[in-house]
Structure 1
């Protein structure tokens, strides 16, 4: 009998990997897989730019990684209501009031919870009407909408096809009906665009009119917002350790958007509120199929250099290649390629080209363009550089060197102490 019990026990252990997990109450504790094609209950960035996806009693942090229990990060949601899901969530954009700017709000039935750094704020939960008068309960979704993208700093609350536009400053609510959009079970503002999630798909829309953006919508979220086998949009290309970062170029355009380029990928560095996410360069600049050697921005244009060719794009929503380009480096800038790096300082007309161990100055306001000055550099093998109001940073591998100005860089004969790229700078892993 004991032998039979032992054999049965061993058989059960062997089957354990194939059976759903259960806790002592008999509840199924198998973790859901969002790559199966889930309809999320809510999606929101937190105050650090991590995107959080909610489904039932589970959540996912970021575009990678497995599910975890929601009450592991936000325990009061379950302690107070035991309903096992979030109706809607958004991150507050209220720069005039630092007490609630970047706080994350969760809506459950007729209650609202405010969190900061995963800690519940004093006085919460509250009735939705106490915090957001005029907003109904049992919402479908919600999203922040900063001034400039909406008329004023606002929150869009979705219930069915009705959108309640809540003015943060005045607390005035205007109701719009967007029947052209699907019913949004979650809405996300990400990198200045707005996405309505429905089923396992999403539709991008205009936050002022509800108009669906140009393109083939809906699209499968698994191609864009998570890393799934047999799906993908360059999402499996990730910057890993900071010590392994190798840059090809960095530039800042006139709007203050900062981009870095590495291999076939680029990333927005000024978008830390939305997290750091790499994309294929061809997603934004479709002609740059072989990557870049150097990039710089001048007026409303971005110059991309590869080998001995210069591509000039308009810095607009479509990054349109200007007619007649690419042209040779000799024709456009009066130099031979290849080059290592390039940068302009704010408000200047002189582009500084790093070529081998030299820095070459070219006046972009002059015709024809020729080298006006050249100097030897105190550092060899520079790979990328940019200039802002704080000075010039030049990059070599995972190290960078700071100079007070382009002039200081050009006349220095001794390199400053190397500093290391950090996670805060580029979203890499320490």
Structure 2
């Protein structure tokens, strides 16, 4: 995963972006989202920055004060009714553009630059979509039936197929009146007042206990969920416990009691308690690897196997001992499985043990000496293997290269340019 070394630990450090206050007389009466305001629109841009709009102001990211919208989006005046980031891999000229809707007009921006020919009438770009919208959100194929945009107006949802330009209208009267809608980490949130309700983008179904206060999840406010003071980690202090990529391409990094999704960096990088996804794993992890739509988590002498679906489900009968499941004993430092292979490579001290995952019972097929010790985590991807040791990592082209090496390669240091830490 080439993105791993670029984004690693950014969220493990809980480094929430801080926006600099405007030096302008308009700052005298800036709106404060921690007071519980209602957003007009929410959308990320092509870089993963999330913008929260209210009147002629916006907030960039999950922390920081309000700023004038026109400071970021030139030629924009007034409030924003709705906004979304285009997801259309079949139309690269439009992909990742952010669309802002004002009354009967639509503005298209890329890199905070208004595209030539804009603003336009909404009907020119999105025929069949009404004016004076309440909210909008992108819905990629796989989450919706096709690459789509959901446009909200009162209780009606207009589902716009990006490729065919067809519009289907549904009435979701059970949803609150959405003044903004946000797709975040593959989930969909209807914002109303200072609360939000999560819903299914195909059926509109709401499951779970909603509404919830947005200040506990989507902003950093004193006395609310993100109100604590988080500090940016120094690069010299970086340390992982485990990292893995599952068969769906989702990459997870673990450190202490938290984890983060590395592949969702375009939605912003956010850390969560490990128990949020793997509720039975309560005291951190020692090693993790993925194989055959499952995630294997090792803690002490226990091994947990989870079905890696939309939600992780512990397979019945687990945890079991590492000895019972993998055929060896002792503390595990790191583990990895390479794409399209059936061998788990288990690192214990200066030994790498290979376990055939197709055999029953599973047994160690070979032990190989390593030129390194005290490895914290390991990851194998299409670009090779990375062994992480504190604030450094060692690169190998393949398990074979690692297995025959007798001299460790030159370590590569994690830098601020790679992961956003402080040098």
TM more than 0.5 = yes
Q: Distance in 1 between matches of 2:387 and 2:268?
A: 24
CA drift at 1:306: 0.9
2:76 is paired with a residue whose SS is helix
Q: 1:95 and 1:241, CA in 2 relative to 1: closer, same or farther beyond 3 A?
A: farther
Give the unaligned 5+ runs of structure 2. 1-21
Contact 1:63–1:226 (CA under 8 A) maintained in structure 2? yes
* Dislocated runs of 4+, deviation >4 Å: 21-24, 233-239, 422-430
Q: Distance in 2 between matches of 1:415 and 1:237?
A: 35
Q: How do residues 326-341 of structure 1 correspond to structure 2 at under 5 angstroms?
A: 326-341=319-334
Bigger CA radius of gyration: 1
CA drift at 1:236: 6.2
Contact 1:392–1:404 (CA under 8 A) maintained in structure 2? yes
CA drift at 1:61: 1.5
| 1:40 paired residue number | 39
CA drift at 1:28: 6.9
CA drift at 1:416: 2.0
Q: Distance in 2 between matches of 1:192 and 1:116?
A: 22
Q: Distance in 2 between matches of 1:96 and 1:38?
A: 37
What do the CA deviations read for 1:280-320 (whole angstroms, capped 9, x no partner)? Answer: 11111111110111001111211111111111111122311
CA drift at 1:238: 6.9
TM-score (norm 1): 0.89
Contact 2:180–2:190 (CA under 8 A) maintained in structure 1? yes
1:29 is paired with a residue whose SS is helix
Contact 1:234–1:280 (CA under 8 A) maintained in structure 2? no
**1:209 and 2:213 equivalent?**
no
Q: Distance in 1 between matches of 2:322 and 2:418?
A: 31
**1:265 and 2:258 equivalent?**
yes
| 2:284 paired residue number | 291
Determine which of 87, 104, 114 is the counterpart of 1:120: 114
Q: Which has the higher contact order (CA 8 A, sep 6+)?
A: 2
TM-score (norm 2): 0.90
Root mean square deviation, CA, Å: 2.1
CA drift at 1:200: 0.8
| 1:15 paired residue number | none
What do the CA deviations read for 1:18-48 (whole angstroms, capped 9, x no partner)? Answer: xxx9977xx6722222121121111111101
Q: 1:104 and 1:401, CA in 2 relative to 1: closer, same or farther beyond 3 A?
A: same
Q: Distance in 1 between matches of 2:200 and 2:417?
A: 31
Q: How do residues 247-396 of structure 1 correspond to structure 2 at under 5 angstroms?
A: 247-396=240-389
Contact 1:381–1:396 (CA under 8 A) maintained in structure 2? yes
Corresponding residue pairs, total: 402
1:351 is paired with a residue whose SS is strand
Give the unaligned 5+ runs of structure 1. 1-20
| 1:199 paired residue number | 193
